[in-house]
Amino acid sequence: MWIVWTTLLINLGCVIFGFFFSYAVLFTSWFDKYRIQPVDKKTSLKVFYQRLPLILLNIGILQLLAGVGVWGALPLLNPCENGAEWGYLGLQLGIFILVDDFYFYWYHRAVHESEYLFKKIHKIHHKAVSPFPLEFIYVHPLEWMIGAVGVALGFGLICLIFGWVNVYAFWLYVFYRSAHEIHIHAGIEFGLSKYIPFYGTVRQHDEHHAFVKGNYASSLNYLDKLFGTQAPSIKK
């Protein structure tokens, strides 16, 4: 059960950080000079608290389903007591990133290109025209559940190849996925991430919220380049 509790703590830790990061981005001037969109587009305190109930509902459902899912997958999660198994950590983490990102791109593109899916599901998330970090989970509950299928597909492929999943690769991906989503919804651009090849940057996702269409990828942006869905930059 320690594997289940550790997974839930990683999720919860990212969310708590996202809350305080959101507050700092919105209600202090610490990051104003790094903002991509104008300072006057910041979300108001009233709207921030209006959006919290849906965010908290999604977090609660996420923790419940994550706990049940990881508990069910315990026989496949290898704690790597054999030192040789550590060598697969990087490879399995890479599979998680590639598979989930490939799935996310096509799923995210589909909910934009389908007028019905956008109106019924994805439109809620796009109320955030100038997003703050915690709005990564300000979505229709069905949206993040369907979006989480990519993680399950990555998990399944790793099991198919290796017969087991390195629990540390899994934990690293759980952390990476949440941390990256918090990062790209922050609306501020600083650091070295923009210089990492094929990395989905804050600017690209912020411009996705501004334009609504284009820049559908999350972790990696090569699919947008490959399939011609990279939005034109609004950088001045």
Per-residue confidence (pLDDT) for residue 236, from 0 to 100 = 43
Which pLDDT tens digit goes with each residue over 216-231?
Answer: 988 888 899 899 888 7
- pTM reported for the whole predicted model: 0.90
Per-residue confidence (pLDDT) for residue 43, from 0 to 100 = 86
Query: For 60-75, what is the mean pLDDT?
Result: 95
Per-residue confidence (pLDDT) for residue 34, from 0 to 100 = 87
Mean of all residue pLDDT scores within the chain: 89
Distance CA 122, CA 208 (A): 13
Per-residue confidence (pLDDT) for residue 116, from 0 to 100 = 94
Which pLDDT tens digit goes with each residue over 183-229?
Answer: 989 988 876 666 666 777 788 888 888 776 788 988 888 899 899 88
Which pLDDT tens digit goes with each residue over 125-174?
Answer: 999 888 999 999 999 999 999 999 999 999 999 999 999 999 999 999 99
Closest CA to 168 of 65, 81, 71, 69: 81
**Helices 89-113 & 167-184 angle (0-180, nearest 10):** 40
Closest CA to 220 of 104, 58, 63, 47: 104
Per-residue confidence (pLDDT) for residue 109, from 0 to 100 = 94
Query: For 50-70, what is the mean pLDDT?
Result: 95
Quick check: 4 and 69 in contact, CB under 8 A? no
Per-residue confidence (pLDDT) for residue 201, from 0 to 100 = 76
Say how many Å lie between the first and final Cα of the chain, rounded: 51
Q: Is the four-CA dihedral 82, 84, 87, 88 of positive or negative sign?
A: negative
The alpha carbon of residue 147 and the mean position of all alpha carbons in its chain are separated, in whole angstroms, by 9
**Local structure of residue 185 (DSSP, 8 states):** T
Query: For 96-121, what is the mean pLDDT?
Result: 94
